């Protein structure tokens, strides 16, 4: 198997910050503090704080796009509730599929 050294990175998950020197074919591999894997951000301290903040920001942006529709008094409240349920269940379904 051939390793693409331009794309290869190493991440150490530990309570204390650690530095490692991994060398393949006389080329050192870059150590990173975080990276995205299957849509989730993995950090060196193994906490999900950054990932949670990113997901909250995505949810805020999605709500902002539909705010006029969801907050309009011209549209029936039951219809707005149904829209929210539909969108929320769709998001949860996608999250469950990504995780499991």
Q: Is the same domain home to 22 and 67?
A: no
Check residue 49 and give its pLDDT.
79
pLDDT digits (tens, 9 = 90+) for 75-99: 888 888 887 777 666 665 555 555 5
Q: Is the same domain home to 93 and 61?
A: yes
Provide the H-helix boundaries in 1-99.
49-70, 77-99
Q: Is the same domain home to 74 and 92?
A: yes
Contact status, residue 55 vs residue 41, Cβ threshold 8 Å: no
Task: Note down the domain range covering 61.
Answer: 49-100
Check residue 97 and give its pLDDT.
55
pLDDT digits (tens, 9 = 90+) for 10-55: 988 888 878 888 888 888 999 998 888 887 888 888 777 777 888 8
Check residue 95 and give its pLDDT.
54
Q: Is the same domain home to 4 and 24?
A: yes
Q: Is the same domain home to 53 and 97?
A: yes
Q: Is the same domain home to 28 and 75?
A: no
Q: Is the same domain home to 33 and 56?
A: no
Q: Is the same domain home to 86 and 96?
A: yes
Q: How far apart are CA 80 and CA 61, in angstroms?
A: 18
* Four-CA torsion 33, 36, 42, 43, nearest 10 degrees: 20
Full-prediction pTM beyond 0.85?
Answer: no
């Amino acid at each position: 198997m051939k390793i693409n050294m331009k794309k290869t990175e190493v991440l150490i998950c530990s309570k204390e910050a650690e530095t490692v020197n991994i060398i393949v074919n006389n080329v050192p591999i870059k150590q990173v503090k975080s990276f995205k894997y299957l849509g989730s951000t993995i950090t060196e301290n193994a906490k999900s704080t950054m990932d949670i903040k990113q997901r909250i920001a995505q949810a805020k942006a999605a709500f902002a796009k539909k705010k006029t529709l969801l907050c309009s008094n011209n549209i029936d409240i039951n219809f707005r509730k149904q829209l929210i349920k539909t969108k929320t269940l769709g998001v949860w379904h996608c999250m469950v599929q990504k995780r499991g």
